[in-house]
Amino acid sequence: MRVGVVGTGIMGAPMARNLLRAGHAVTVHNRSPGRVAPLVEAGATAAASPRDVARGVEAVVVSVPDTPDVEAVVAGPDGILAGARAGLLVVDTSTIAPRAARMLAERAAAGGVAMLDAPVSGGEQGAIAGTLSIMVGGERAAFEQAAPIFAAIGRTATYMGGPGQGQMTKLVNQVVGAATLAAVAEGVLLGARAGLEPAALIEAIGGGAATSWMWTHLGPRMQRRDFAPGFMVRLQQKDLRLALAAAAEAGAPVPLTTLVHELFAAVEVRGGGGLGTQAIVTALEARAPA
């Protein structure tokens, strides 16, 4: 396919590379042009704007940080819809408000453009390895049309229903993941204060019912004080704000999510918004007696 990628940051760049490796012709755009150059060297074509990307491709993958960014990239005056022809497919892999995803899909459909909300889970390493989990909302026919794209960037793509349902699924993912991460941080801190050998602790818990991806991947990074971002605290906070708003709208109590949001806020207050989410352990350490 001729595929465009708008947004070539931590997630978008490796997705573009995997599309190239799968044999697709890839056109890329990023508002910071420096991020595009390595992809052009790898075989992609650069475009000056999202509108220019849309003019020459069959599908556009969007990977930008937040709801206003997606709205600008898709529906802005120089956005994808401004350059789109009927039949274009837009696949938004960002995490945004479900309500906004539904509104953008409706606006795209008015111009004959199919739009899928397809947020991903797996972080930077999943994007690099092409093993992302993709949660998809939109029309079933568009989901089937996007199959070659999903095969290139992910391990699984699950159809969740109409527009906005992919985003709602991602918010459920973030609620579960954030609470699990906080529990991992508590366990790592308790183990350290109790004098347990770090590697043995990871192995022991990793072999039982309490294991998780968070425990096996981020637990050791907490122990090593490695807070380099795979997924940044400030982006997690954005997702949790979306989840809290969606929960309030649905009438679903999420007290653990509220607590985790407060813990991440404590990390941000100390200048840790750009750290990886495993830095949540520092918020617990700050509460611990010396």
Q: Tell me, what CATH number does 275's domain have?
A: 1.10.1040.10
Measured CA to CA, the distance from residue 159 to residue 140 in angstroms comes to: 8
Q: Are residues 131 and 261 in the same domain?
A: no
Measured CA to CA, the distance from residue 134 to residue 131 in angstroms comes to: 9
Q: What is the pLDDT of residues 173-210, one digit of tens each?
A: 999 999 999 999 999 999 999 999 999 999 999 999 99
Q: Are residues 187 and 91 in the same domain?
A: no
Q: Are residues 61 and 130 in the same domain?
A: yes
Please tell me which residue in 24, 51, 102, 170 is annotated as part of the active site: 170
Split into its structural domains, the chain has a count of 2
* Mean pLDDT rounded to a whole number for the chain: 97
Q: Are residues 223 and 240 in the same domain?
A: yes
What is the reported pTM? 0.93
At residue 290 the predicted structure's pLDDT band, cuts being 50, 70 and 90, is confident
Q: Are residues 25 and 117 in the same domain?
A: yes
Q: What is the pLDDT of residues 36-50, one digit of tens each?
A: 999 999 999 999 999
- Do residues 3 and 119 lie in contact, with contact meaning Cβ atoms separated by under 8 Å? no
Measured CA to CA, the distance from residue 173 to residue 190 in angstroms comes to: 26
Q: Are residues 26 and 153 in the same domain?
A: yes
Q: Are residues 176 and 149 in the same domain?
A: no
Q: What is the pLDDT of residues 200-237, one digit of tens each?
A: 999 999 999 999 999 999 999 999 999 999 889 999 99
Which residue range(s) make up the domain with 275? 169-287
Q: Are residues 189 and 63 in the same domain?
A: no
Q: Are residues 74 and 188 in the same domain?
A: no
Q: Are residues 202 and 71 in the same domain?
A: no
Which of 215, 192, 189 has the alpha carbon at shortest distance from 204?
Answer: 215
238 as an active site residue: the answer is no
120-131 burial, b at 16+ Cβ within 10 Å, e below that, comes to bbbbbebbbebe
Q: Which two tokens stand for residue 276?
A: 């990886």
Final residue in a domain of this structure, among 129, 144, 162: 162
